[in-house]
Amino acid sequence: MDAVTGQTDAAQANTPNVIEMRKVCTRFGTHSVHTDLDLDVRRGEIFAIVGGSGSGKSTLLREMIMLHRPSSGSIKILGADLQTISEEEAMILRQRWGVMFQHGGLFGTLNVLDNIGLPLREHTRLDDTLINELAAWKLTLSGLKPETGLQYPPELSGGMLKRASLARALAFDPELLFLDEPTAGLDPGGAGGIDTLVRTLHDLYRSTIVIITHDLDLLWQVTDRVAVLGEGKVVGLGSMMELSQMDHPIIRGYFDGPRGRTAQEQAQKLNKE
C-alpha cells in the first residue's frame, strides 16, 4: 500500500490517467529533446519528473500546460486531446489546473493578494469582496501571514515568493496542480516547509500533483512515483524505492553519492516513525 495515497498497487494500476503522453517528439531545429516519449500520470498521485540539464523536463511541463506544442505525438490532459482542442475548450481546461512557476510568475505591480485573486477576476463574475476573501484564504493555506497579502513580489523572500505563487495556483481549487522546482534556491528549512505544504494540500484537495524537481528529500518523502528523463525519453519510472533498485547510469545518479544516501536514509527513518 502506498503511504501517500493509501492505495494498493493493484488499485493504483486501475486508477484512471489524468495525463497521457504518447510518442511525443520535440525538436528545436536539428536538436531533438524528446523522441517517442510515453508517460502516464494517474489520478490522485504525487508524480515527479526528474532528469539532468537538457533532458527536457521544463519543455515537457510547457507541453502539458499548452505553452509549447510538441513536434509530433499526442497529449491528453483530463481527457482532452491537446492536439485538437479548441480555444474555448482550452480556456475551460486551464481553469481545471494550477501552475506554480519556478520563479513565481507574479506581476510585480500587483500586491500578493491581487496576484492571487487575478485569475478569479479574469475568468469569473464573482464580486471583489468575495474574490478578496477567497484570495486571503489561499494566502493562509499557503502558510503566509495575512499582512503578506499587502506586499509586492519584489519585497518577498524566495520562500515567500514560492508560497505566494502556489497560493495563486490554488485560485480555482484545481484538480491538477503543476509545481515547477518548488524548493529550488531555498534553505533546508524553507524546502522542508514546502515538502510539508505539498503533502497538506494533497490531503486537502486530493488533487493530482506533478512536480519538476531536483530535490532528493522531496522525491523521497512526498512522491508516489517518479519519472526519470534521459536519452530523449523516460529511462525509469516507479517509486523511489523501485528506482533505487535499477541499474541505469542516469538513474543511479540519484542514489549513489552522499546526498542520495542521506536523503534515502532520512526518508526511511521518517517512515519508521
Give me the residue label for grid cell 495556483: 169
> Residue 35 in 3-state DSSP?
strand
**How is 202-264 classified by DSSP, letter by letter?**
HHHH--EEEEE---HHHHHHH-SEEEEEETTEEEEEE-HHHHTT---HHHHTTTSSHHHHHHH
Encode the chain (273 residues) as per-residue pLDDT tens digits: 443 334 445 445 577 999 999 999 999 999 999 999 999 999 999 999 999 888 999 999 999 999 999 999 999 999 999 999 999 999 999 999 999 998 889 999 999 999 999 999 999 999 999 999 999 999 999 999 999 999 999 999 988 999 999 999 999 999 999 999 998 888 888 888 888 899 999 998 899 999 999 889 899 999 999 999 999 999 999 999 999 999 999 998 888 866 665 666 666 666 655
Measured distance CA(71)–CA(267) in Å, rounded = 39
pLDDT of residue 4: 37
Decide the pairing of beta strands 176-180 and 17-28: unpaired
Q: Which amino acid is at 254?
A: Y
pLDDT of residue 261: 58
pLDDT of residue 65: 96
pLDDT of residue 254: 81
Q: Where are the domains of the chain?
A: 107-173
Measured distance CA(94)–CA(196) in Å, rounded = 26
pLDDT of residue 272: 56
With 0-12 CB in 10 A as exposed, 13-18 as middle and 19+ as buried, what is 217?
A: buried
Q: Would you say 177 and 97 are in contact if contact means Cβ atoms under 8 Å apart?
A: yes
With 0-12 CB in 10 A as exposed, 13-18 as middle and 19+ as buried, what is 1?
A: exposed
Fill in the DSSP letter of residue 101.
Answer: B
